[in-house]
Amino acid sequence: MNTSFSSKDPSTLSNYTKFDVTDGALDMDIDFDAKVVHGRITYQLVAREDTKSIVLDTSHLKIRRAAVGEVEVDYKLHDRKEPLGSALEIFYDFKQTARTTVTIDYTTTDKCTALQFLDKEVTDGKKAPYLFSQCQAIHARSMVPCFDTPSVKSTYVLSATSPYKVLMSGRFIEKKGDKYFFEQPVPIPSYLLTVASGDIVGAPIGPRSTVYSEPVGIKAAQWEFEADMEHFLEIAEKLVFEYEWGTYDALVLPASFPYGGMENPNITFLTPTLICKDRSNVSVVAHELAHSWSGNLVTSKNWEHFWLNEGWTVYLERRIIEAITYADAKRKGKANPEQFAAQMRSFLAIIGWNDLENSVKAFGPELSQYTRLVLELGSADPDDSFSSVPYEKGSSLLVHIEEVLGGKKVFDPFIPHYFKKYRYKSVDTKDFLDTLYEFFADKKDKLDKIDWDTWLYGEGMPPKPKFDTTLADECFKLANEWKAATKSGDYDKFSPKDVESFEANQSVVLLDTLSSFENQNDFHWADHAKALEAMDKAYPIYSDTQNAEIKSRFYMLQVTGKSKKYCKLLGEWLGEVGRMKFVRPGYAILNEVDHDLAVEYFTKWENTYHPICRALVKKDLGLS
């Protein structure tokens, strides 16, 4: 087995290996008129060796002052190196083991990729401007000078001044005038630093949880999450160990938020596409909650080992949903609830497998290196490698390990052991493997049968698991009936009754399966426009639904068939959502059908997207 893993972070320009950061204090003054943040960051540092300077990551920041202790010192902002930004070098004679305080005053600029300022006219309530941050992967350096690497973790005191409510990635302490104070006693990396400010209100969704949003959406958000939040917490604690962040709150952001969720400590950020009025997408909350252990407590050392964050999180997320399903089935008196819960876990894995296949296809042969679990990023932007690969390939590996070892009962004791061993630390794949082999020393022969090189370094799809398809078989059957009907032309037999009993995820599997027929044995939906028109008439619920997972899939299936009606509907819908899970594939499929139309819609909506999303779609469309 190849174990030549790199622990040095290639995505930072800093000299982070020369220092230990013990504490940080970040103070922000939010200027909505100028759309900038005036900040001061103070680090308590201990040098690991004698050195003449400290080098921090920055990106498009204006540095106003640097000091060591109370004394101003010289500094140099080095030339920019894309995509990693500009190294800020602060000159001082640092002595080994000496504790030092370094303070930098700075201002963000309009090129800041971590912050998005929204005018009040584009918010839901239209009553106040809005600001939110998104620092993962390497965008924190555009919001604050820092060791912008997951290898460095620190406790923080956080504060921000704003005329509007402020939320940050810590426990709320107090408000004095327009200034809000928070503390984060658990060490966190720079990418988990967070700020949001705007017309924000909260509502309880559990004994230790509050959901926040603009006032116009607070009731819907509260209803969507209040039934499950505390149950998720309790189940996760049984799987791993006690939740130690105090509160678990969530903020539903405006539409331009580029991700499904972001696991910012104490205040998870969520996309508004989760609010579909049927609680069918709450698994995203289970995912972000699981990050409280995998990613936040135990963090990958760098983005080349990102699968350790996301693979573990998907694994835990599906274990949480499995346990919820079991409890519900038992309460309702369902026969064999344990089997049903296991079927649900497998069903969710099938959906994930479809997502993985789509990601592998999207990368294609030119970018196939991004389909590996352990990456070699070099100086590339980690955002370029973002996909479902670390999530789904990583979780598939953990499920494979579980099965090889003998099942959940055998594997489960390893979960709390791993997370306790590396709590507050950053790890790489070698750390994971060493701990796995140490814990299961008596089962080394079984672990050795795993093809580690293929799983960790192999490109493309991993070995396919044996899924329990019980809950998916009905979806597969209906999809195959549609495919068969393209030969007979008999579409009258299909009706809304086909899918009226489907759970939301069954509709997802149906649509994924229909889409998977494209390019299969020379089958093309563009050759069967009448079938897609019949599907549109038979299942109007799919175009009318508020569930973005279903709507996006139905729209893109229709566009695959070159439906002019749905090219327009998809293009217009892409102006309503900012979540990259939908935006990037949406433009990609439009681009395949009509490049000029894709560019036209992107140009129309470009300024509504988050900077991260905007930059990646530009690359996707060949505009960057």
Cβ neighbours of residue 438 closer than 8 Å, sequence gap 6 or more: none
Is 524 one of the annotated binding-site residues?
no
List phi, psi (to 5°) of 330. Answer: -65, -40
Three-state SS at 140: helix
- Bridge partners of residue 586, in order along the sequence: none
The verdict on whether residue 376 carries a ligand-binding annotation is no
**Catalytic (active site) residue 92:** no
- Is 259 annotated for ligand binding? yes
Is 528 annotated for ligand binding?
A: no
Is 261 marked as a binding-site residue? yes
**Catalytic site residue from 89, 224, 288, 392:** 288
Q: Of the residues 130, 326, 391, 555, which is catalytic?
A: 391
* Count of beta carbons in the 10 Å neighbourhood of residue 591: 18
13 touches 55 (CB < 8 A) = yes
Q: Is 400 annotated as a binding residue?
A: no
Name residues whose C-beta falls within 8 Å of residue 30's C-beta, 6 or more positions apart in sequence. 37, 131, 160, 161, 162, 166, 195, 197
List C-alpha distances in Å: 415 to 331, 492, 605: 27, 52, 44
Spatial distance between the Cα atoms of 392 and 389, rounded to a whole number of angstroms: 5
Q: Is 613 annotated as a binding residue?
A: no
How far is CA 422 from each of CA 187, 427, 563, rounded to the nearest angstrom?
A: 12, 7, 52
291 is in an annotated binding site: yes
Q: Please, are residues 206 and 220 in contact by the beta-carbon 8 Å criterion?
A: no
Burial class (CB in 10 A: 0-12, 13-18, 19+), 497: exposed
Helix (H) or strand (E) holding 471: none
User: Is 520 annotated as contributing to ligand binding?
Assistant: no
Q: Is 136 annotated as a binding-site member? A: yes
287 assigned ligand-binding residue: yes
Phi and psi (nearest 5°) for 475? -70, -45
391 is known as an active-site residue: yes
3-state SS of 185-233? EEEECHHHCCEEEECCEEEEEECCEEEEECHHHHHHHHHHHHCCHHHHH
Residue stretches of the annotated binding site for a peptide: 134-136, 258-263, 579-581
Annotated active-site positions, please?
Answer: 288, 391
Residue list, annotated binding site: 134-136, 258-263, 287, 291, 310, 579-581
Which residues are part of a known binding site for Zn(2+)?
Answer: 287, 291, 310
